[in-house]
Chains A and B, each alone.
Chain A
């Protein structure tokens, strides 16, 4: 398959991006300033992220569309108000997570933001439940820009008046440069911010405005350190088809009504786990000292029994210490439990930590 580029590829290049192949796209991993500076400028000012590789999947239909989607998504889509968003997942028959996503109710149906690496398969899986009268479209001429950080609201309000009225996990249509665009107050960094769905034709103008307001470009490297400090999962690492939402410690993302009534893929398995608990569960992990416990680091109990595996780990620039997430046997999941981490054949101390590592500052 040919490597794809987003509409902003040349802008990234001019901004000094280092590119890496990611989910079939050439994406910036970092720019000139490097990951730590990019991370800190997002937390203290604002940064923009080109996330146009992610799928923007639009669905239109009547209430039968809602019913169809509820068979594979365990959110309460029937009660979701127009312009409100939920974090949820696509589930397989065994309750395993096919992808994690943000679903927004629109006037005509729904918009679902899908992970780039999963989007083709996601659409195949969703389509199994769709009927002939349900329209669906994976956009191919829209960019998606995340603007994240405490100054985001002040800066974006200057360009698109009204965005400051949005609450976290809501969105609306706005007019910009004689074009309709859709803005949600959301993101994946633990900061206040927005995701802006904008045509490929206008995106450069938006980016130039952000740059003129000293907003820095942020690559995938800092996106990873930011989301990990915020305790958020990365699909393909912390989540996959063999992990269900209960194990992933994401049961909060299944609507209460749906837990009780069911009617979605994997419900029986999930209902059973809700009652009896799962064998393993996702936890935060703080290694002792400076040692970094990366993905696939083995986790041991103090008496040297293997109890789990790290799924994401890095140095957290705002925490100023290494941070990690991973799965441990449930009887080791209590916050403060002392563990050992095997790095380069040597065992280092660590402990189970609450999530997030870095306190979120969303505008509710």
Chain B
């Protein structure tokens, strides 16, 4: 996989050709705590940049997961739906949320690098 980019809403995106993979960051899982529910979009659904695309719930609360990039969903990760706790174990690897075919690579390029994201988290601890 290629370079990974990050959003201010604590999603990560990696791009392979014109297909992006989206998940939530390790930092996000640490804020959420134990994850007990996940809902992912079905293939074929269109999502807008920063539009609500998935749901994640911890023992404490429900949170929306936004797509940092617009496009058409090609796959939702059913494994995290079946075993939500796997998101705490490998949030930036096997426990991705969805893949989508992107429309505009410029949206990807404008997201934060790993260094920028780490700094963002440090400056915005909550």
Contacts and interface: CB of A to CB of B under 8 A. Distances in A.
B75 interface: no
Contacts of B81: 290
B117 interface: no
Nearest to A290: B37
Contacts of B60: 29, 35, 221
Contacts of A314: 59
A30 interface: yes
Given A30-B33, A35-B60, A36-B34, 10 more contacts: A29-B60, A36-B36, A36-B85, A221-B33, A292-B62, A314-B59, A315-B36, A315-B57, A322-B36, A344-B55
A284 to B, nearest CB: 18
Interface of B: 33-34, 36-37, 55, 57-62, 81, 84-85
A34 interface: yes
Interface centre among B55, B59, B61 (most CB of A within 10 A): B59
19 contacts: A29-B60, A30-B33, A34-B33, A35-B33, A35-B58, A35-B60, A36-B34, A36-B85, A221-B59, A290-B36, A290-B37, A292-B37, A292-B57, A314-B59, A315-B37, A315-B57, A315-B59, A322-B36, A344-B62
Contact of B36 (A29, A292, A344): A292
Contacts of A294: 61-62
* Contact residues of A: prevailing secondary structure: mixed
Interface string A220-237: 010001000000000000
Contacts of A34: 33-34
A294 to B, nearest CB: 7
Nearest to B31: A18
Interface of A: 29-30, 34-37, 221, 225, 290-292, 294, 314-315, 317, 322, 344
A322 B62 CA distance: 13
A36 B59 contact: yes
Given A290-B36, A290-B84, A315-B36, A35 B59 contact: yes
B76 to A, nearest CB: 15
A210 to B, nearest CB: 23
A314 B62 CA distance: 10
Contacts of B61: 294
A225 B62 CA distance: 15
A322 B38 CA distance: 13
Interface centre among B33, B36, B61 (most CB of A within 10 A): B36
Contacts of B62: 292, 294, 344
A35 B88 CA distance: 13
Contacts of B84: 290
A36 B29 CA distance: 14
A225 B37 contact: no
Nearest to A35: B59
A317 B59 CA distance: 9
Nearest to B59: A35
A317 B37 CA distance: 12
